Amino acid sequence: MQIVRRLLVAVGAIALAATVLTLATPKSVHALIATLVQVSNTSANPVPTVATDNPGLQPLGNFQFTTAGPPNFTLPVPAGKTLVLEEFGVDCAFLTDPLVQTSIILYVQNSSIATVYTFVPEVLGGHIIVTQPVHIYADAGSYLQIGTGINLTGYPGLSCSASFSGHYVNVP
């Protein structure tokens, strides 16, 4: 019991001393200490505002929509960048025949190499839907394109949307 009492007295004394010193310290001392930790953001010495571990990393979010027929969405990769696609999604709504059996195709054209990824969509209440996590690289100058496994031209009331998410990386 005696030890706890002495400990509480010591902690209280330290807290009281810290409070008194804080209140008794002049504002000039506070100002002097504050100048020691100031950050100046000038054009000659800018403060970094990008990821310092990878400054070339730039997020990508792209959404496309059409009511003019089947999906034919294209996403070009700009010069000087590599696209890392991390997820894509497609949602096609049918007013007349919601049980259309088709596949969703993601086509990636890298320079002279074409890669085709085929996905089987879920059929949910008049929609065919694919939401897929992926890890696909596309070089500068290439493009990604989304389509369907069958020709859906002529389906009245067809509307489709597609989304791409990932990031660009600067090419050294």
Q: Which of 7-11, 55-59, 79-83, 91-95 has the highest mean pLDDT?
A: 79-83
Q: Where are the beta strands (DSSP E) in the chain?
A: 58-66, 73-76, 81-93, 104-110, 113-119, 122-124, 127-138, 143-148, 159-170
> Mean per-residue pLDDT for 90-114?
77
Q: Which helix (H) or strand (E) holds 5?
A: helix 2-24
pLDDT digits (tens, 9 = 90+) for 125-158: 778 888 989 999 998 889 888 877 766 666 667 7
CA of 8: how far to CAs of 5, 14, 19, in Å? Answer: 5, 10, 16
What DSSP designation does 80 have?
Answer: T
Long-range (24+ apart) CB contacts under 8 A made by 111-116 are: 111/139, 111/141, 111/142
**41 with 47: CB under 8 angstroms?**
yes
| pLDDT band with cut points at 50, 70 and 90 for residue 87 | very high
- Of 23 and 158, the structure prediction assigns the larger pLDDT to 158
The more confidently predicted of residues 18 and 146 is 146
Q: Which residue has the higher pLDDT, 89 or 33?
A: 89
pLDDT of 98 over the 60 cut? no
